[in-house]
Structure 1
């Protein structure tokens, strides 16, 4: 089971779109895919047409179980979607209370890792959508992944969010001794603007080979797909945005095979 965490400490950079787009493409390839929503805003949950406030269980229940997390709870917290091979563990606003209620409890940073180990035979890929805040949710998502995918909007302020994210990875490495493989993904690229081009050049100059050598363009088909609650590849398989994500997925698979 391969786990990718989609994270950045800035909102609006394309985390949920990246999660859904890659998950949809993998599912179309016959891979058993689980998307996990750990963001209290529950954008990923709503994307798949799930009402986060009427759930019997979800990611909040998994985290609340702490060390007592079980395979049964994990499976009860996972829902099918309308897409073959694609499941989701939904989120609720209650996730916003986790740091205050449970953040200091021993072992809270490894709950998701323990839970996923119990259902490892059920899925080929897991993609985790993470809120843009360093806390118990992000720590959990980082602790259980093989690679961090960091979408970065190609505009100046997004570079500041990336700097915070890189400091977080360094901080967790120092405290836990864990190295994280990561791929920086330029998103919302607008070839008509000098700002996008200059930001892309700065990304390459600062982070070199850690930056994917393509970019995800601005594409209105992403918004349209979201409105229809369809993965981008199901809604517009030949759109430029989907073709870009196909290229990204090919690259990520090659990295995992090394």
Structure 2
């Protein structure tokens, strides 16, 4: 089972879009995929029409459970989607209280890693959608993953957020004695604007070894797909945006073909 964390300490850069689209592509290639929503805003959950506040269990229950984590307990929290092989571990607003409740508790940063280990035989890929703040949720997502994907909107302020995220990975790497396999993904790229071209050039200059050579273009089909509660790869498989994510998936070495 491969675990990818999609993270950035700036909001609105395409984290959830990246999580959903990559997850959809993997599921369409007959991979068993779990998408984990660790953001209290629950955008990933709502994308698929899941209101975790109305569910019997969510990722919050995994964190506050005092008993040993088991596969059955994790599986009980999952919600199916309209895509075969694609499941969601939903979020609730209660996640926002975790740092205050138990942020300093021993072993708190490894709960998600242990939970996912319990279902390692059930899934081929796990994609973790992170909140845009450094706290116990992002710490858990980083501790659990094999690869970190950092979507970065191609505009100046987003580059500042990237600097903070890279600094966080450096600190976390020392704490966990771990070297993060990181790829920076330029998103919302519009080659008609000078700002996007300059941001792309700066990314290539400042983060040469970690930046994906492609880019995810501005594509309104991503927004339209959310209205249908399905990944864009399902509803609009031939669009520019989905084609870009298909190329990214190949770069990530997911071991799946280029086409369905």
**2: CA distance between counterparts of 1:254 and 1:72?**
27
**1: CA distance between counterparts of 2:71 and 2:23?**
22
SS at match of 2:5: strand
Q: Which runs of 5+ in 2 are unaligned?
A: none
Deviation at 1:130, TM superposition (A): 0.2
Aligned residues: 256
Query: What corresponds to 1:193 in structure 2?
Result: 193
2:97 matches 1:104: no
Closer/same/farther in 2, CA of residues 255 and 13 from structure 1, 3 Å limit: farther
Runs of 4+ more than 3 Å apart = none
**2: CA distance between counterparts of 1:255 and 1:33?**
14
Is the 8 Å Cα contact of residues 69 and 118 (structure 2) preserved in structure 1?
no
**2: CA distance between counterparts of 1:129 and 1:89?**
10
Query: What corresponds to 1:87 in structure 2?
Result: 87
Q: 1:12-51 counterparts in 2 under 5 A?
A: 12-51=12-51
**2: CA distance between counterparts of 1:154 and 1:201?**
10
SS at match of 1:208: coil
Q: Which runs of 5+ in 1 are unaligned?
A: none
**2: CA distance between counterparts of 1:65 and 1:125?**
24
RMSD of Structure 2 on Structure 1 (CA): 1.3
Is the 8 Å Cα contact of residues 67 and 111 (structure 1) preserved in structure 2?
no
Deviation at 1:69, TM superposition (A): 2.1
Q: 168-177 or 99-108: which moved more? A: 168-177
**2: CA distance between counterparts of 1:242 and 1:135?**
31
* CA shift digits 1:139-162 (9 cap, x unpaired): 000001100000000000001110
**2: CA distance between counterparts of 1:40 and 1:152?**
21
Deviation at 1:68, TM superposition (A): 2.6
Query: What corresponds to 1:243 in structure 2?
Result: 243
Deviation at 1:70, TM superposition (A): 2.0
Is the helix fraction higher in 1 or 2?
1
* CA shift digits 1:66-121 (9 cap, x unpaired): 67322221111111111101000000000000000011111010001001111000
**2: CA distance between counterparts of 1:7 and 1:147?**
11
SS at match of 1:230: coil
Deviation at 1:177, TM superposition (A): 1.3
